């Protein structure tokens, strides 16, 4: 059994739902931090969803506004992902938002 501290990051270059992180099939993950940075001159919105193993989609942040030239911490408490769960992010505008998740994977092997 291993604890692996890592991060996941994505530059949202499209307005499509983009996978930020998928919990491995042999691990659970604790998402400690979810930072969103807007490096554009105008506000944008982000949607964050969690897809479980049964493919059900749960909205965590729905069309959350991120002001221009600002970095915002979305989580106020840790978020737990079970095996094979997927964290996805969607931007309202392409090439404006960067997302970084800091996490701990708890491997069962």
pLDDT tens string 48-92: 999 999 999 999 999 999 999 999 999 999 999 999 999 999 999
Q: What domains appear along the chain, each with residue ranges and CATH number?
A: 2-107 (2.60.120.1330)
What is the model's pLDDT at position 71?
A: 98
pTM of the model: 0.94
pLDDT score, position 33:
98
Residue 10 above 90 pLDDT? yes
- CA torsion 41-12-51-87 (nearest 10°) is -90
The distance of Cα 77 from the centroid of its chain, to the nearest Å, equals 14
Give the side-chain half-sphere CA count within 13 A for 56.
3
- Confidence check: pLDDT of 1 > 90: no
């Amino acid at each position: 059994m291993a604890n692996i501290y890592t991060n996941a990051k994505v530059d949202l270059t499209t307005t499509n739902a983009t996978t930020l992180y998928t919990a491995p099939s042999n691990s659970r993950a604790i998402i400690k931090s979810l930072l969103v940075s807007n490096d554009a001159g105008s506000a944008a919105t982000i949607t964050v969803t969690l897809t479980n193993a049964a493919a059900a989609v749960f909205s965590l942040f729905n069309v959350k506004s991120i002001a221009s030239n600002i970095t915002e911490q979305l989580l106020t408490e840790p978020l737990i992902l079970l095996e094979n769960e997927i964290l996805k992010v969607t931007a309202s505008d392409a090439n404006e938002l960067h997302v970084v998740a800091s996490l701990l994977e708890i491997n069962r092997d």
